[in-house]
Amino acid sequence: MADYDSSLPIRSEADGADERVQTKIVDKSNPDTQQMEVDTDGNAHVEVHGNDPTGTDKVIRTSEQGSVEVDGVYDASNNTEPSNTGIIAQQRNATPGDTLQTERLTSVQDSGGTVRSLDVSLHDEDGEAYSSTNPLPVTLEESEGDEICDYNTTSSVIKDAIANHDYTVTALKTLISQRVWVAGSGKLKVELQLETGVASGIYNTFLVAFNSTANPNIDIPLDKICGKQIAGANVRIVITNKDNQPQDLYSTLMGIEK
């Protein structure tokens, strides 16, 4: 009968003389130098690994505080599958806390399928939606761009003579005319003209107005379409004296240059 090849079991009860049995986690190729470390708190020091999108083993990186790093910026070489984090809103509360982070934000996709936007709902400071009975307060502030208020006067214009008020739009700017104001002591006619190009000398008329005894001043609010002029070209206010004697003619062009 063949002998059974086996070892005797080992057993110990305490360190020291009784030689308690201890185990180590080591690398199979270098068991003497590559061993798992344990700190004074009894915690094992290990590296966390994972596979990248190609299946290659990588060491997981952490921040200085030990938090796992999250990289949401795409890189064709180093981050082909960036991390995504959903936005969670907190319930309105005087004392913010983690337990209040329960509101998921919603979004909508445009009809073309290229834009995905977060939903927006305006409410007042009490959380009430704006409506006809709870309107949104609005105040008018200074316009974006340079405010233009260009004044001109021509004295002693004789009957049927013309006074031109030209404004040249500033370089690299576009003028959005908003208002024309024309005044005189007698009858007059006013035309708003736009030059067709820089120094072209050719003008197109966009509107004509006359005053009267009841309305001696001409106030023309302008739509941005008919009063828009390019850089370097002129906006011209043409005023004709329609009275039977000479008079001073006054005009002001108002608008925004952007």
Residue 179's domain is classified under what CATH number?
2.60.120.680
What average pLDDT does range 13-29 have in this prediction?
73
Does residue 94 fall inside a structural domain? no
Does residue 201 fall inside a structural domain? yes
Closest CA to 247 of 152, 151, 153, 155: 155
Does residue 199 fall inside a structural domain? yes
pLDDT of residue 62: 85
Burial category of 145 from C-beta neighbours within 10 Å (exposed 0-12, middle 13-18, buried 19 and up): middle
Higher-confidence position of 76 and 203: 203
Reply yes or no on whether the pLDDT at 22 is more than 80.
no
- Angle made by CA atoms 98, 101, 103, in degrees to the nearest 5: 175
pLDDT of residue 8: 64
Confidence of residue 196 (pLDDT cuts 50, 70, 90): very high
Does residue 69 fall inside a structural domain? no
Does residue 91 fall inside a structural domain? no
Reply yes or no on whether the pLDDT at 11 is more than 70.
no
Reply yes or no on whether the pLDDT at 165 is more than 90.
yes
Do the beta carbons of residue 234 and residue 131 sit within 8 Å?
Answer: no
Does residue 239 fall inside a structural domain? yes
Does residue 222 fall inside a structural domain? yes
3-state SS of the chain? CCCCCCCCCCCCCCCHHHCCCCCCCECCCCCCCCECEECCCCCEECCCEEECCCCCEEECCECCCCCECCCCCCECCCECCCCCCCCEECCCCCCCCHHHCCEECCEEECCCCCCEEECCCCECCCCCECCCCCCCCCCCCCCCCEEEEEEEEEEEECCCCEEEEEEECCCCCCEEEEEEEEEECCCEEEEEEEECCCCCCCEEEEEEEECCCCCCCEEEECCCCCCEECCCCEEEEEEEECCCCCEEEEEEEEEEEC
Question: Count of domains in the chain?
Answer: 1
What average pLDDT does range 43-72 have in this prediction?
86
Reply yes or no on whether the pLDDT at 43 is more than 80.
yes
What average pLDDT does range 68-88 have in this prediction?
86
Reply yes or no on whether the pLDDT at 256 is more than 90.
yes
Give the domain range for residue 187: 152-251
pLDDT of residue 42: 86
pTM above 0.85, yes or no: no
CA distance 44 to 117: 46
Give bridge partners of residue 234 from the DSSP assignment.
168
Does residue 230 fall inside a structural domain? yes
pLDDT of residue 87: 86
